[in-house]
Structure 1
Amino acid sequence: MMFETTPLRDVMVITPKVFGDERGFFLESWNARVFAEAGLDLGFVQDNHSRSSRGILRGLHYQTQHTQGKLVRVVAGSVFDVAVDLRRSSPSFGKWFGVELSASNQQMLWVPPGFAHGFYVTSDSADFQYKCTDFYDPASEVALAWNDPTVGIEWPVPEGESPALSGKDAEGLAWDAIPLFD
């Protein structure tokens, strides 16, 4: 696997080795030993899988308690995946990073605890899978507004269109109103 740093401290783009031929392909998406050798000694407790249609935006989510690190990947379709650093002590505090994750590029993104995370579906549909380092805790979940001007994420939403949002995401909080991490 190849582990690439990003402009956000501790966020990594991970490209697995893919072995393929006319029959299809094989790749290893998680190996505790390989990740630990790359400095990511992670203990996952929950796997999630979602399917979304083109134009759906999910996020930007995080939990203030039971903070989750997420190893995210797309197994069908494509998304624009985003992490926002919410850690005051980080040199990348308040900054965002986005990357296309797709079934064809087979890349993954490691989003550590202390980040808001979300994605926008750019294909007809996308199957999104992610491993979490802590359990889902709806009582401590926060949604940062996807279009907050302070953060200024450049989503690939076509001109004149708006993303489809859940009720929770439509009511996302402004940067100045969200709880942050030290």
Structure 2
Amino acid sequence: MAADRRTRILNAAEELFAVDGFDGTPTARVAEAAKVPKGLVFYYFPRKIDLLLTLLQERLPTPTKDTLAGVVRRGDPAGSLLAMHRRLGMEDHDSLVLRTIIFRESGTHPEVRDHLRQLRRSLVELTEEALDRAVEWTVAKTLRRRAAETFVSVMLDHANARRSGGALPDVQGAATVVGLAVAAPGPA
């Protein structure tokens, strides 16, 4: 029962923050939408910012190396990147609302900006790890980082374009280009 109320509070906050913004949503409206007393919101989330940070941490967590289990194929960096992209599900509908919140609030709330930076950093590191596992030789550190940053930029742009209804970048094409960039052995 307690977990259900906490989940209802998070669900309501996510929807309201996406529509009206964090600063434009009073906690009383969150409580009303969640059908809980206002005091219960503060019981679970002592400060309003704690509610936003919990949404980010629980519903858009930074990925771990476990994400790569079963998706990386040695000798197929492009296919491995695409499989990782699918596993991450960055464009899934459930996280689209959160991305609306993140991109809106990152300019005014340093905690949100920090989470976004950490998410991007972890995605780059994960992509570098995927490339290390997929490529059959040692890729130069600088090239590996640039390749990972390029692919992550396309993944994030793809997720954001899905949210905003814009033209979708070609994730498959980006994976192919990155795969070709790391395909030839070079100096480590």
TM > 0.5 fold call:
no
TM-score by length of 2: 0.25
Higher helix fraction (1 or 2): 2
**Higher RCO structure, 1 or 2 (CA under 8 Å, sep 6+):** 1
